[in-house]
Amino acid sequence: MPADKQRLEREVVAMRVAKELPDGGYVNLGIGIPTLVSGFVAEDSVVFYHSESGVLNCGPLADEGEEDIDLINAGGQFLQPVPGMVFFSTVDGFAMIRGGHVDVTVLGAHQVSAKGDLANWMLPERGVGNIGGAMDLAAGAKQVIVAMEHTDRHNHSKIVEECDYPITGKACVSLIVTDLAVMQPTEQGLVLKEVAPGWTPEEVQELTGARLILAPDLKEYEL
Amino acid sequence: MALGKVYPSPEEALADVFDGATILVGGAVGAGLPENLLRALSNGGARGLTLVYSAGAGSISSTAGNSSGKSSIESLVMEGRVSRIISPMPFPPNAGGQIEDSWRQGEIQIEILPQGVLAERLRAGGAGLGGVFLPTALGTRFQEGRERREIDGKSYLLETPLKADFALLKARAADTFGSLVYQGSGRNWGPVMAMAARIGVAEVGRICEPGGLDPEAVVTPGIFVNRLVECP
């Protein structure tokens, strides 16, 4: 059964996403697997991290005992002060996002559709949720990458033909990286580009709620 | 001429908060949260408040929130002082807590909106604009009831201005004219909320005489700030 097979660790998913970040780019990381991405950027590459909490050039997370409540990212994590860090108002933080100045955002998701619709702010059974900055990021960032587990805790696919959860943005996701595969939403449908080591495209399809189109150059997860 | 912007205590700075007032609360997940002013709001007794905040409900760290383990905003809700919340993140990060319970029991109304929409609605309110067209939330349930407009081939939704009676802010330092400099990511909502309220109230670490702040470093000019309390 594919459901019992070994999937990739969250860190490996983050490592794969890190390869997508452009050298010199401005990047906004969401909560969950996305926060891990900064740990895997190549050492010779410079990435400027943006937080809508009003920080640009965010450094690494603060060490225990060094936390400063006035130095946090949008996820509420404490940051280390680093040279070149700047602060600004939330209004400016969202101008950077909607104005097309942020190159990539990496977000988690509850569901992503084959066309790239993103649902990540509310679970229908709860009936309410925090939106935060996700809708502005979905609408404004030049590129939206989703990093998430392929299935939810009931082993239901988080990748679907059409989202039945309330959506955050329409046709906004350009790449989906999961613990099983790398996929690209297109107008024709969802293209399977890479599969995790030890997995066949058929096994990935079995756990995917949308029909996968095999990329001509389909390959093993490339780190 | 005495400006009289400096108040001796948070309670005195908020003495005229009335039942049904709309109050902007600066800060986000603890950074820039005006805890002293929120405590004074609690001590003051006004009810039926509308609170507008970004993400102040959670006590995400030992330094945010008060000794009860609840944030000051949760405490105000538990005291039955709040009738309405307007926020992109009304609940603590992982659990809804008291705020969600109160909402489910129909004790408070909650308007959830995207964070960047709140920012621009406040800016429109503070800058005297009739509204602003945003690309945010197109195709989502939040577009319902909003005017849609095509501008230069792109779609936008009209958002209306948001204004308030009071803004509660936290800053590192002020001069007696009310000009503010902030601390780190605690700046967040201060500048726009100061603009959007009729009465801007700031708790600051230090109050100096005019000339004590580098004019190039001032973030919020004193025209937007009516009251100051020193809370070292």
Q: What is the pLDDT of residues A102-139, one digit of tens each?
A: 999 999 999 999 999 999 998 888 888 889 999 999 99
| pLDDT exceeds 60 at position B51 | yes
Average pLDDT over chain A, rounded to an integer: 93
Rounded-to-integer distance, Cα A25 and Cα A48, Å: 6
Radius of gyration of chain B (CA): 18
Q: What pLDDT is recorded for position B228?
A: 98
Q: Which class for B93: exposed (0-12), middle (13-18), buried (19 or more C-beta within 10 A)? A: middle
pLDDT in tens, A130-180: 899 999 999 999 999 999 999 999 999 999 999 999 999 999 999 999 999
- Indicate which of A57, A90, A122 best probes the interface with B, i.e. most B CBs within 10 Å of its own CB: A90
Residue B194 CA to residue A168 CA, distance in Å, equals: 29
Q: Domain tally for chain A?
A: 1
Q: What's residue B63's pLDDT?
A: 37
Q: What is the mean pLDDT of residues B66-71?
A: 55
Report whether B64 contacts B215 (CB < 8 A).
no
B88 neighbourhood in chain A, CB within 8 Å: 130-133
Complex ipTM > 0.90? yes
Test B96 with A53 for CB contact under 8 angstroms. Answer: no
CA separation for the pair B179, B166 (Å, rounded): 17
Residue B67: what pLDDT? 43
Task: Read off the pLDDT of residues B77-101 as tens digits, 9 standing for 90 and up.
Answer: 999 999 999 999 998 766 678 899 9
The encoded tokens of residue B28 equal: 């986000």
Spatial distance between the Cα atoms of A79 and B69, rounded to a whole number of angstroms: 22
**pLDDT at residue number B231:** 95
Q: Is A189 part of a structural domain of the chain?
A: yes
What's residue B71's pLDDT?
77
Strand pairing class (B132-134; B154-159): antiparallel
Does some domain include residue A78?
A: no
| Strand (E) or helix (H) holding A134 | helix A134-140
Q: How far apart are the C-alpha atoms of A1 and A109, rounded to whole Å? A: 25
Determine whether B11 is exposed, middle or buried from the number of CB atoms within 10 Å of its CB (0-12, 13-18, 19+).
middle
> Cβ of A59: how many Cβ atoms within 10 Å?
16
Task: Name every chain A residue with its beta carbon within 8 A of the beta carbon of B31.
Answer: 53, 69-72
Q: Where in the sequence is the domain holding A170, given as residue range(s)?
A: 2-53+89-220
Give the residue-averaged pLDDT of B153-178. 98
Pair A56, B185: CB distance under 8 Å = no
**Is it the case that residue B174 has pLDDT exceeding 70?**
yes
pLDDT higher at A179 or A3: A179
Q: Quick check: is A74 in a domain? A: no
Residue B196 pLDDT greater than 50, yes or no: yes
Phi, psi of B228 (to 5 degrees): -130, 140
Burial B27-46 (b: 16+ CB within 10 A, else e): bbbbbbbbbbbbbbbbebeb
Nearest to B31 among A69, A98, A134 (CB): A69
CATH number, domain of A28, equals 3.40.1080.10
Residue A16: C-alpha distances to residues A103, A137, B67 (Å): 17, 21, 42
DSSP one-letter code for B36: H
Would A106 be classed as within a structural domain?
A: yes
- Which of B104, B115, B152, B203 should be substituted to probe chain A, the one whose Cβ sees the most A Cβ atoms within 10 Å? B115
Q: What is the pLDDT of residue B70?
A: 67
Is residue A9 among the annotated active site residues?
no
Contact call for B114 and A133, based on CB within 8 A: yes
Alpha-carbon gap, residue A119 to A189, rounded angstroms: 17
The nearest CA of chain B is from the CA of A1 a distance in Å of 33
Q: What is the pLDDT of residue B230?
A: 98
**pLDDT tens column, A30-76:** 988 999 999 999 889 999 999 998 999 988 888 899 888 888 888 88
Q: What is the CATH number of domain B6-230?
A: 3.40.1080.10
Which backbone phi and psi does B196 adopt, to 5 degrees?
Answer: -85, -5
Shortest distance between the Cα of B174 and any Cα of chain A, in A, equals: 17
- The answer, yes or no, to whether residue B3 has pLDDT greater than 60, is yes
Phi, psi of B192 (to 5 degrees): -80, -35
The pLDDT assigned to A68 comes to 87
Res. B69: pLDDT tops 60: no
CB B48 within 8 A of CB B74: no
Closest CB to B185 among A71, A134, A169? A71
